[in-house]
Amino acid sequence: MFRTTRRKAAAGAVLAAAALALTACSSTTSLPGDENEADATAETNSVFADAPVASDDLILPGSTMEKIKERGTLIVAEALDAPLLSQQNPTDPDSVEGFDADLAKLLAIYILGEPNVEIVPPATETREAMLQNDTVDVVFNTYTITPERAEQVSFAGPYFESGLAVAVKSDNDEIKGIDDLDGKEVIVGANTPAVTAVPEQVPTANVTAFATDPAAVQALLQGRGEAYVQDYTLLASNAANDPSLKVVGTPFTKEPYGIGLKHDDAEFKSFINDWLLAIQESGHWAEAWKTTLGTVTDSDVPTAPEIGSVPGS
Amino acid sequence: MNPLIDNLGLVLEALGTTLLMAVVAGVGSIVLGVLVTVARVSPIRALRVAAFGYVQFFINVPLLALLLLAVFALPDAGLMLPLTPTAIIVLIVYEAAYVAEAVRSGVNTVAVGQLEASRALGLTLAQSLRLVVLPQALRAVVQPIGNVMIALAMNTALAAAVGVVELTAAVNKINLVAAQPILIFSSAGVIYMGIALAIGLAAGRVERKVAIVR
């Protein structure tokens, strides 16, 4: 199951090594989670305490839910390298932390009564195929709902709404937002919505895509581009950890993230939508946000987007 | 409808980059590989050791690691080149190690008597290598070098990871919108297959053309 992502994993390993070597000799940058390692476990547990569990009559006979319940694990496609969303803990490889990861566990609790999740690291390139050939049950992978994708897979949700923003080096006072990127070298993450969104907004920008977020940040700091366009929350987290980088302007797109499901599984889709409403009502959604994405912004818990409110969901 | 056909302009441009990388790196790696082989069979011990170390290093370090080091570590050492030239240079030094191994096996097919005869005729060592040994060695290894070139063409795809917009990167980008990975990546696979087939057939033709009857 790791085969498709071996390259990415290797890339990550090398970069991590390079990054370690660099930070070791250049600065005193603290790693995310350094200070609150001790109370992290307690925090995570509060996310799952009293999480809603589906009553037996909701697990329809012959449905995907029943299949998952019989198997005893929920198979989820989610990243291992997305900070705050779904990141493997470097000191404890069994633990994957973040907003997507917590929601996946909450869904597993809803179906199975316990957070039994088997993670298949997705190649972002093959999420649709993994759903179509039953490799995974659901995809939690900052999966933006689009009408084109909705022709191949179904989306429950949206469960979260984010947007793309612009980051620059701290000493750059020239770029104040997306409108200042005319004719500039712009870095984006490969396989992120920015790949298509930046040329749409600023046709004259020269876009270079790097495979991972650490690679893109490194490229920005080394001057391969003047700006880095990426999900606002991810940038905020990067900027919080690294003072040589800052976020400018406000998000310029709306990215509704959905839960990818096999196409035309209407039963499973409405089951998951009901679950989303349940965790929003019980406060577990807000709790998951507060302990993950919420740790890098000062803003209040956002309102969860309305289920089915975007084309394709 | 195949999304690759809907984005034909982008695909062709990216295919151009892939072919450019493959051709430039191919020629470069053959030249460098032959030079490394010459060093490897030279009578000077230091050169032999250096060539041996070179080949062992590049055969044992993964190409992706080299690409990432060249793109992200060299700028910290004060050396920053644009992405595509960086990728081409890394491909040249990496594949040259494989070319060198192939050519060395060709050198071994040249009988010792040939070298002895050329020295007896008064050719210098450089002359005997250039006029007697290498021409015969290269003729013997056309097909293996063809295989190295095919591997090189496939390896250009790794450059997508460091921001070069070649075929794989372009196909990724198209899939991001169209979301039909199986169709899109199989189509890209067919294109790569075409490249490999073309190199293989060309190598076969060259081999027949330069074959020597011993």
Compare B70 and A51 and report the one with higher pLDDT: B70
Q: Does domain A164-248 have CATH number 3.40.50.1360?
A: no
Cβ contacts of A193 on chain B, cutoff 8 Å: 176
Helices (H), ranges, chain B = 3-6, 8-41, 45-60, 63-68, 83-109, 112-120, 125-128, 134-140, 142-155, 167-178, 181-210
Is A127 within 8 Å of B181 when comparing Cβ atoms? yes
Is B83 within 8 Å of A208 when comparing Cβ atoms? yes
pLDDT number for residue A23: 42
* Residue A13 to residue B136: CA distance in whole angstroms: 44
Is B161 within 8 Å of A7 when comparing Cβ atoms? yes
pLDDT of B1 > 80? The answer is no
User: B29 to chain A, minimum CA–CA distance in Å?
Assistant: 24
Interval A169-221: pLDDT, tens: 999 888 888 888 999 999 998 888 898 889 989 999 999 999 888 889 999 99
Beta-sheet strand order (sheet of A164-169) = A206-210, A185-189, A227-231, A164-169, A245-248
Cβ contacts of B158 on chain A, cutoff 8 Å: 7
Q: What chain A residue is nearest to B179 in terms of C-alpha separation?
A: A149
Compare A18 and A84 and report the one with higher pLDDT: A84
Same fold, A38-161+256-296 and A164-248: yes
Written as one letter, the residue type at A224 is R
Interval A284-311: pLDDT, tens: 999 999 888 888 777 778 888 888 888 8
* Residue A147 to residue B130: CA distance in whole angstroms: 63
Cβ contacts of A127 on chain B, cutoff 8 Å: 181
User: A188 to chain B, minimum CA–CA distance in Å?
Assistant: 9
Q: Domains of chain B: which residue ranges?
A: 3-210
Interval B169-209: pLDDT, tens: 999 889 888 888 889 999 999 999 999 999 999 999 999 99
Segment A143-156 shows an average pLDDT of 90
ipTM score of the complex? 0.76
* Residue B88 to residue B85: CA distance in whole angstroms: 5
The CATH number of B3-210, from 3.40.50.12780, 3.10.20.30, 1.10.3720.10, 1.10.150.20, is 1.10.3720.10
Lowest-pLDDT choice from A118-132, B3-17, B135-149:
A118-132
Is B80 within 8 Å of A10 when comparing Cβ atoms? no
Q: What chain B residue is nearest to A188 in terms of C-alpha separation?
A: B163
Mean pLDDT for all residues in chain A:
82
Mean pLDDT for all residues in chain B:
93
Residue pair B149/B160 in contact by the 8 Å Cβ criterion: no
Q: What chain A residue is nearest to B84 in terms of C-alpha separation?
A: A208
pLDDT of B106 > 90? The answer is yes
Segment A14-25 shows an average pLDDT of 46
pLDDT number for residue A241: 81
Is B178 within 8 Å of A208 when comparing Cβ atoms? no
Nearest residue, CB atoms, B180 vs list A152, A218, A222: A152
Written as one letter, the residue type at A69 is K
Compare A34 and A7 and report the one with higher pLDDT: A7
Band (A45; pLDDT cuts 50, 70, 90):
low
pLDDT number for residue A301: 82
Give the global pTM: 0.78
Cβ contacts of A15 on chain B, cutoff 8 Å: 68, 72
Is A211 within 8 Å of B161 when comparing Cβ atoms? yes
Place of tokens 């495979």: A211
pLDDT number for residue A24: 42
Interval A247-288: pLDDT, tens: 988 889 988 999 999 998 999 999 999 999 999 999 999 999
pLDDT number for residue A44: 52
Q: Domains of chain A: which residue ranges?
A: 38-161+256-296, 164-248
Band (A41; pLDDT cuts 50, 70, 90):
very low
User: B172 to chain A, minimum CA–CA distance in Å?
Assistant: 7
Is A223 within 8 Å of B75 when comparing Cβ atoms? yes
Is A215 within 8 Å of B72 when comparing Cβ atoms? yes
pLDDT number for residue A39: 42
Cβ contacts of A195 on chain B, cutoff 8 Å: 173, 176
Segment A123-151 shows an average pLDDT of 88
Among A144, A195, A207, the strongest candidate for a mutation testing the B interface, having the largest count of B CBs within 10 A, is A195
Cβ contacts of B62 on chain A, cutoff 8 Å: 10
Interval B115-127: pLDDT, tens: 999 999 999 999 9
Is A196 within 8 Å of B181 when comparing Cβ atoms? no
Cβ contacts of A146 on chain B, cutoff 8 Å: 177, 179
Interval B16-47: pLDDT, tens: 999 999 999 999 999 999 999 999 999 999 99
Encoded tokens for B206: 């060259």
pLDDT number for residue A71: 92
pLDDT of A313 > 90? The answer is no
pLDDT of B58 > 60? The answer is yes
Interface check A219 vs B, CB under 8 A:
yes
Nearest residue, CB atoms, A128 vs list B68, B161, B181: B181
* Residue A50 to residue A52: CA distance in whole angstroms: 6
From residue A73, give the alpha-carbon distance in Å to each of A69, A284, B29. Answer: 7, 21, 50
Encoded tokens for A44: 């995570």
* Residue A13 to residue B166: CA distance in whole angstroms: 23
% of residues, chain B, pLDDT over 70: 99
Cβ contacts of A223 on chain B, cutoff 8 Å: 75, 80
Segment B130-147 shows an average pLDDT of 94
Interface check A17 vs B, CB under 8 A:
no
Residue pair A176/A248 in contact by the 8 Å Cβ criterion: yes
Interval A107-122: pLDDT, tens: 999 999 888 999 998 7
pLDDT of A146 > 80? The answer is yes
What residues contact B115, with CB distance under 8 A and at least 6 apart? B128, B132, B133
Q: How many of the other CB atoms lie within 10 Å of CB of B137?
A: 22
CATH number of A38-161+256-296: 3.40.190.10
Place of tokens 């050519």: B103
User: B47 to chain A, minimum CA–CA distance in Å?
Assistant: 31
Compare A33 and A311 and report the one with higher pLDDT: A311
pLDDT of A16 > 80? The answer is no
Q: Give the closest residue to A270 by CA, choosing from A161, A141, A157.
A: A157
Q: What chain A residue is nearest to B67 in terms of C-alpha separation?
A: A11
